[in-house]
Amino acid sequence: MKYRLKDLDIFDLKGKKFSFRFDLPKLITFTLWLVVNIFFLLKNGMVTTGEAEKYIGQANLFSQSGHLSASNLWMYFTQIALLSFCIKFKLDFVCAVIVQLFFNFFSLLYFYNTLVCLLKSSVIALIGALILLLNQPYQEFNTFLQTESLFYSFSLILSCYVIRVEKLSLKKFTIIILLLFLVCITRPTGLLFIPPVFLYLFFIYFRKLGALKKLSILGATSFLFLFLINKALSSGGEFDFMLPFRNEDIICGLPSLTHAASITTSSESNSIFGLLYYVTHNFGQFIRLAWDKTIAFFGLYRTYYSTWHNIYLIAYFSLIHIFTLAGISFWIKKDLYKFLYFLSAIFMTWLTVMLTCDDWHNRFYLSISPYLIILSLGFIKKLSAR
């Protein structure tokens, strides 16, 4: 092993396919990652209350019967399977936290390496990794036995893998499909990555095909996406997609009205048709609520957070938003298709919030925060080139 400040090899696993090295920026990243996660472990311990109780309960049910209590819970299956594995083999749930931390760290390193590839600068890549580590609510979910930690890690790994594919092969396409499937069974919002992934692959690799083949691919992908979304909407359980409009919820579970609003809905409200029916027959209310949800989504302010927590969120994310807007021209000139991938991932999540409600803990926004960080680094790259 070599021990140089410029290129510090902490360990080097070499074989036919693997070569794993740490350089100084990665050592800094690892050190801060360790500090951040030790802090949250000391602060929170392992969180098994609240929403985690739902997944623990389903894991117990699944380990005993092989079934879940509602069909919509299969869209959270990754976390349930992990907890069920711990129960089945009589392992402490600490093992589940270790798995979450492993994938969080792996996704962070992959994020760093992807930034190096995109921006050709280990310094700017390090800045991006450190910004993500300072995303307190994003990192804090590593201590919760909920779906968020794995979902954030898997979706980030998927996105980084997709935009780094230089030549599409059957093997790489299969890996993309498997990663996409994993994301989709970790949280229902994983389905929102289907359009960005396939549009990116289409524009990069299929644009030279004939018009008929292009239309066939787009048509098949669109049909698949709409079919899966419709199945997710109608999967039952606690899902009621008209409830946020009846109660005028901006934040899910926090009604704005004391009495349900009078709205026109379809008999099949938990469906794509039902949502479109609502929008076209209640357009005024939809636009008003969509604006309020947009403010909550990008503003991140919550009345029930402490003053200092709100100040932190607004200051941290406002700078990212400003830098993102300032970096748009850089990404359009450098790589339009990668820019469109990140933009479409952000837009799909934003659209979903407008059609439902924003999350109590900003979880929808946090899932797309790494892509805003990537886009914001375009402005830093512009500044460094002057």
Task: Write the CB contacts of 302 (distance below 8 Å, at least 6 apart in sequence).
Answer: 251, 310, 360, 362
Cα–Cα distance between 265 and 277 in angstroms, integer?
7
The vertex-73 CA angle with 69 and 77, nearest 5°, equals 115
pLDDT of residue 217: 75
SS3 271: coil
| Alpha helices (H) in the chain, listed in sequence order | 24-44, 52-65, 77-88, 94-119, 122-133, 136-140, 148-164, 170-184, 194-205, 211-233, 243-246, 272-281, 283-299, 307-326, 328-334, 336-355, 363-384
Count CA atoms within 13 Å of residue 337 on its CB side.
16
Cα–Cα distance between 186 and 146 in angstroms, integer?
10
Answer yes or no: are the C-beta atoms of 377 and 115 closer than 8 Å: yes
Answer yes or no: are the C-beta atoms of 250 and 357 closer than 8 Å: yes
* Residue 375 exposed, middle or buried by CB count within 10 Å (0-12, 13-18, 19+): buried
Task: Write the CB contacts of 206 (distance below 8 Å, at least 6 apart in sequence).
Answer: 213, 214, 217
SS3 33: helix
Centre a 10 Å sphere on the Cβ of residue 169 and count the other Cβ atoms it contains. 9
pLDDT of residue 386: 67
pLDDT of residue 221: 80
How far, in whole angstroms, is CA 259 from its chain's centroid? 34
pLDDT of residue 234: 75
pTM, 2 dp: 0.90
Cα–Cα distance between 21 and 12 in angstroms, integer?
5
pLDDT in tens, the chain (386 residues): 333 434 333 334 444 444 445 588 899 999 999 999 999 999 999 999 999 999 999 999 999 999 999 888 999 999 999 999 999 999 999 999 999 999 999 999 999 999 999 999 999 999 999 999 999 999 999 999 999 999 999 999 999 999 998 888 899 999 999 999 999 999 999 999 999 999 898 888 776 667 777 777 778 888 888 888 888 777 665 668 898 999 999 999 888 887 788 899 888 888 889 899 999 999 999 999 999 999 999 999 999 999 999 999 999 999 999 999 999 999 999 999 999 999 999 999 999 999 999 999 999 999 999 999 999 999 999 998 76
pLDDT tens-place string over residues 264-319: 988 888 888 989 999 999 999 999 999 999 999 999 999 999 999 999 999 999 99
Answer yes or no: are the C-beta atoms of 248 and 289 closer than 8 Å: yes
Q: Tokens for 228?
A: 């899966």
Q: Which value, to the nearest 10 degrees, does the dihedral of the CA atoms of residues 163, 138, 178, 145 take?
A: 170
Answer yes or no: are the C-beta atoms of 75 and 235 closer than 8 Å: yes
